[in-house]
């Protein structure tokens, strides 16, 4: 039982610009809604009386909302009906809640709608004039806390969100000398005047002919940790005769794709498509600033007949993934040009056919750097997974701790998937 103690708006601690901010086509193509994330912290015995002091947390939030002032605004529309950010400075929602539960009661935490409703402020209407940032601090009887955040996906991608959290924690620790300011000018991703569309991007087209199976939002989720030793062995298994390097993301994703296709027990002649996202900041010409504050990711995918996914060595699947995730500036500019005249209201944004997967990578992002001065989180994870077939990969807490896999599947497929995955990992020579 979680009881709300207080709910208020935290505004920037200083005056901030009030001009509206234009959103790029990549922003408008993102899922329209808030991305909810949770951070679990065990109590620090030495300072348990002051662990996550509420007023201190609010004060640091007010300070970080100065450089990140768009998050204190509201989603709005310009005179032509295009979504934009109204930089009103109205503030972010800050909720404090308490529970008599112990943090250990959630040792087996798995993302779900129930968990999102417990630890993140209630979901609001995602359309204008909605709030853009919501935070909930849940205080446990044992002294532990859960920090739940919800940032509007039309405003930020994952890299931006973790940049914001990392900056917030730096301010809370009093370390302000090396803060990286967000780059707020999204016009660098405008469509070209002489639009050049290379090809119609399948990942941004709602094609009813492609959907071979019913889309289901019913899912169960699990959090699985893969050790660094197992990842290195898996990458070696995925290497080809040329000795080409295989990333942890591609090696793990190839194995997940294969195990999922086996566990779902679908017709082997059915096509399976695996979707993922590419961060284009370093792939644009010229590169975008690393602190670009907006959606700078594009969708890509690879498909194969399920029978081939099951029978092919995962080294082959990893190579196919490499080909699908190798796009550069030309493709990104073509996509932005395509979206300039696309029906944004008809883009596929959520849900998957029961044959498909969407794998999102947070590997390499500072997911575990959320230290407010009293220790890093013992767990950072999505609060919910939206639909079946959604997978998120991230670095596990601790040095050389491997990768955490957060996976959602149909309830009937999850036991078989986990059994197959653990068998494959156990068979690796580590």
* Catalytic residue numbers, as ranges: 153, 371
How many whole angstroms separate alpha carbon 387 and alpha carbon 389?
6
How many whole angstroms separate alpha carbon 251 and alpha carbon 258?
11
Using the structure block, give the residue that is written with the tokens 């995962």: 314
Q: How many CB atoms lie within 10 A of CB 105?
A: 12
The CA–CA distances, whole Å, from 410 to 215, 216, 254, 388, 418 equal 11, 8, 19, 6, 12
Strands laid side by side in the 271-279 sheet: 220-226, 403-409, 390-395, 357-361, 271-279, 297-305
How many whole angstroms separate alpha carbon 305 and alpha carbon 409?
19
Assigned token pair, 194: 């002489």
Q: Which residues of 42-61 are buried (b: 16+ CB within 10 A; e: fewer)?
A: bbeeeeeeebbeeeebbebb
How many whole angstroms separate alpha carbon 342 and alpha carbon 51?
49
């Amino acid at each position: 039982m979680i009881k709300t103690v207080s709910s208020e708006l935290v505004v920037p601690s200083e005056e901030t610009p009030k001009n509206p901010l234009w959103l790029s086509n990549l922003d408008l193509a993102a899922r329209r809604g808030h991305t909810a994330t949770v951070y679990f912290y065990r109590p620090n015995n030495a300072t348990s009386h002051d662990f996550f002091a509420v007023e201190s947390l609010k004060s640091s939030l007010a300070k970080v909302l100065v450089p990140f002032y768009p998050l204190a605004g509201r989603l709005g529309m310009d005179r032509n009906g295009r979504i934009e950010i109204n930089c009103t400075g109205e503030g972010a929602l800050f909720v404090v809640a308490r529970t008599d539960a112990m943090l250990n009661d959630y040792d087996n935490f798995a993302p779900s709608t129930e968990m999102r409703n417990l630890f993140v402020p209630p979901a609001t209407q995602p359309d204008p004039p909605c709030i853009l940032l919501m935070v909930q601090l849940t205080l446990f009887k044992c002294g532990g806390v859960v920090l739940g955040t919800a940032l509007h996906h039309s405003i930020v991608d994952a890299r931006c969100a973790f940049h914001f959290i990392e900056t917030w924690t730096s301010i809370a620790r009093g370390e302000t000398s090396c803060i990286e300011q967000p780059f707020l000018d999204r016009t660098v991703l405008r469509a070209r005047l002489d639009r050049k569309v290379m090809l119609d991007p399948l990942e941004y087209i709602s094609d009813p002919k492609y959907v071979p199976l019913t889309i289901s939002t019913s899912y169960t989720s699990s959090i699985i940790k893969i050790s660094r030793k197992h990842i290195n062995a898996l990458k070696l298994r995925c290497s080809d005769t040329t000795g080409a390097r295989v990333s942890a993301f591609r090696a793990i994703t190839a194995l997940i794709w294969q195990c999922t296709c086996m566990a779902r027990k679908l017709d082997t002649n059915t096509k399976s498509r695996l979707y993922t996202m590419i961060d284009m900041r370093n792939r644009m010409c010229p590169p975008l600033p690393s602190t670009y504050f907006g959606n700078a990711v594009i969708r890509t995918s690879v498909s194969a007949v399920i029978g081939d996914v099951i029978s092919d060595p995962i080294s082959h699947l990893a190579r196919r993934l490499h080909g699908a995730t190798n796009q550069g500036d030309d493709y990104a500019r073509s996509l932005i040009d395509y979206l300039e005249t696309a029906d944004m209201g008809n883009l596929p944004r959520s849900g998957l056919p029961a044959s498909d997967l969407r794998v999102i990578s947070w590997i390499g992002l500072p997911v575990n750097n959320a230290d407010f001065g009293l220790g890093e989180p013992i767990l950072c994870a999505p609060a919910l997974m939206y639909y079946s077939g959604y997978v998120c990969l991230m670095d596990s807490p601790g040095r050389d701790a491997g990768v955490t896999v957060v996976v959602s599947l149909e309830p009937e497929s999850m036991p078989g998937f986990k059994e197959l995955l653990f068998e494959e990992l156990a068979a690796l020579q580590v």
